[in-house]
Amino acid sequence: MRIRSLMLTMVGMAIAGASVYASRELLQVQPATASVDSNGPALVSVVVAGQDIPFGTTVEGHKLTTIMWPAEAVPPGTFSDFSVLLPEQGQDPRRAKRAMAQGELVLANKVSEFGEKVTIVQTLGKNTRAMAIKVDAQTAVGGFVTPGDTVDVVLTQGSRANLRAITILQNIRIIGVDQQADEQNESANVAKTVTVEVTPAQGQKLALAQKAGTLSLSLRTLDSVIDEPLDSIRLSDIMRDESPTVEGPKATVKVRRAATAVSEVEVKERDEDVN
């Protein structure tokens, strides 16, 4: 009996040991690696925004991350690591010249040089100018104009019967509302001043128009449209004896012709019926 018990104990220990070994092999943690297709495109590391980086804010390490990108599709101006973007000890940082959303590629034209001042000038296109317009709740679409929007500028001039309005500029980009130039800020605020991007010729028109009368902004749709010259309109053009009406459906009657043909004939009103 003792020999049999000893044998059973040894067999049990062997089974238990085998179970532990098998479990360890199955549950062993393997290092996480990304499978790469050797036949696929070559990948390189590029720096992207790890979080939203507003216009004018500093570029810091915790705001950045890297992702793998197809080497043949890497756009010019990308960065492969943080070292080129981050300042050395005692050096002033870079700043965002454009607002960058989380996951967006960090490009050279979106960041300043080390210690470079970032102002609204960095948002201007080639050979354009920034010009301010005085506005209020009524002339600035109730405060719903934000940086990045496009507007038409309407001049209202004159008084009483000589009052008239004309669109002097079309498709003008808003680059600042009061002191706010961040295009990611979509909050509506009633502003006192908006800053627009114009060409030198448009700036001259705008300067004269501000002296001549009241300027109003007309917020444009996001859909592309074809701009056409617009004639000025006078108060007398809208002050009519009769209000404009939309023509309604015409009255018709069905007339049977021959055996089966049926046609509709418009019923015209007689003068005495109208009166």
DSSP annotation string for 154-182:
EEEE--GGG-EEEEEEEEEEEEEETTB--
Q: Are 266 and 250 in contact (CB under 8 A)?
A: yes
pLDDT digits (tens, 9 = 90+) for 134-186: 888 777 777 788 888 899 999 998 888 788 999 999 999 998 887 666 555 55
Q: What is the pLDDT along the chain (275 residues), one digit of tens a residue?
A: 556 665 666 656 666 666 655 555 444 444 333 344 456 679 999 999 999 998 888 999 999 999 999 999 999 999 998 888 999 888 999 999 888 899 999 999 899 899 888 877 777 888 899 999 888 877 777 778 888 889 999 999 888 878 899 999 999 999 888 766 655 555 666 678 888 999 999 999 999 999 999 999 888 887 777 788 888 888 878 876 566 665 666 666 565 665 556 566 565 655 444 44
Q: Which two tokens stand for residue 211?
A: 């002296």
SS3 150: strand
Q: Which two tokens stand for residue 263?
A: 């046609």
pLDDT digits (tens, 9 = 90+) for 13-31: 666 666 655 555 444 444 3
Q: Are 213 and 156 in contact (CB under 8 A)?
A: yes
Q: Are 217 and 139 in contact (CB under 8 A)?
A: yes
pLDDT score at 31: 38
pLDDT score at 15: 66
